[in-house]
């Protein structure tokens, strides 16, 4: 039987009021997050024009999504993409790569999500129509050299979820936690839910220690959309990789 690891042994960041992508998404559609891509502004303006007929919520959401995806595609045509040899996973259909050579990590996110600024997070990408659909990554310094130094996957994941990834007011449940080996480095991946009064977020996470840092990647969706999104979210987590910085 694994021995529980005291919470104080984890090098976890303090929760800030707006540091969690969950907190930022408490009210779906909230305009509190500042979009970094100026291309979103004209797209949003185009969506505000009165339609020729009254649309129901589902039709309107679908139309807005198509316009936003088209805008993202147009913007991407003017941006140079990373060398495929440096990041082979970028060719996966329906996803775009993030490669941060300075921080030493890479991952994929679904095409159409937008980068937003969230205090306390290194990077956040989210769906502007479904704000609970997002991926965020954060890193903090640590003196540990291996994620296994902190304890078994379930204990580490449960402590991280309760103290960092979900507000204290939400009811959380760890569904699964396991260890994976990628290029000789240990990663912990886990699945959990966080229940708020008006929604439940179903999420996946991956944590690893490398380069003197504790890296945390989290992605998820509203529980009502989990079956539709789970394969894409698993792709995001599975693509997460740490490289040794030179």
Domain contains 214: yes
The per-residue pLDDT for 69 is: 47
The per-residue pLDDT for 155 is: 97
Q: Return mean pLDDT, the chain.
A: 76
Number of domains in the chain: 1
Consecutive H or E run containing 244 = none
From CA 57, how far away is CA 62, in angstroms rounded?
A: 9
pLDDT exceeds 80 at position 113: yes
Domain contains 9: no
Domain contains 11: no
pLDDT exceeds 70 at position 70: no
pLDDT exceeds 70 at position 178: yes
Between 45 and 236, residue with greater pLDDT: 236
pLDDT exceeds 80 at position 41: no
From CA 20, how far away is CA 131, in angstroms rounded?
A: 13
Quote the domain boundaries for residue 194.
18-33+80-242
From CA 89, how far away is CA 96, in angstroms rounded?
A: 9
CATH number at 127 reads: 3.40.1000.10
Domain contains 46: no
Instruction: Identify whether the C-beta of residue 127 lies closer than 8 Å to the C-beta of residue 134.
Output: yes
pLDDT exceeds 80 at position 153: yes
pTM above 0.75, yes or no: no
Domain contains 190: yes
Residues above pLDDT 70, as percent of the chain: 62
In tens, the pLDDT along 190-243 reads 999 999 999 999 999 999 999 999 999 999 999 999 999 999 999 999 999 998
């Amino acid at each position: 039987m694994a021995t529980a690891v005291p919470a104080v042994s984890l090098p976890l960041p303090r929760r800030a009021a707006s540091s969690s992508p969950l907190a930022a998404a408490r009210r779906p559609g909230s305009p509190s997050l500042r979009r970094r891509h100026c291309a979103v502004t004209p797209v949003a303006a185009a969506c505000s024009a009165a339609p020729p007929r009254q649309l129901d919520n589902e039709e309107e959401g679908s139309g807005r999504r198509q316009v936003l995806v088209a805008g993202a595609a147009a913007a991407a045509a003017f941006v140079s993409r990373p060398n495929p040899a440096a990041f082979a996973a970028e060719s996966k259909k329906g996803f775009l790569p993030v490669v941060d050579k300075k921080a030493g990590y890479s991952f994929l996110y679904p095409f159409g999500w937008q980068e937003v600024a969230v205090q306390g997070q290194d990077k956040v990408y989210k769906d502007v129509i479904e704000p609970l659909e997002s991926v965020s990554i954060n890193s903090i310094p640590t003196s540990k050299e291996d994620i296994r130094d902190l304890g078994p996957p379930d204990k580490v994941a449960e402590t991280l979820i309760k103290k960092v990834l979900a507000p204290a007011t939400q009811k959380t449940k760890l569904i699964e936690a396991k260890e994976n080996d990628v290029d000789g480095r240990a990663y912990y991946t886990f699945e959990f839910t966080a229940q708020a009064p008006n929604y439940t977020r179903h999420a996946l996470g991956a944590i690893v220690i490398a380069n003197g840092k504790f890296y945390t990647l989290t992605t998820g969706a509203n529980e009502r959309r989990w079956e539709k999104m789970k394969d894409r979210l698993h792709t995001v987590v599975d693509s997460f990789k740490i490289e040794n910085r030179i």
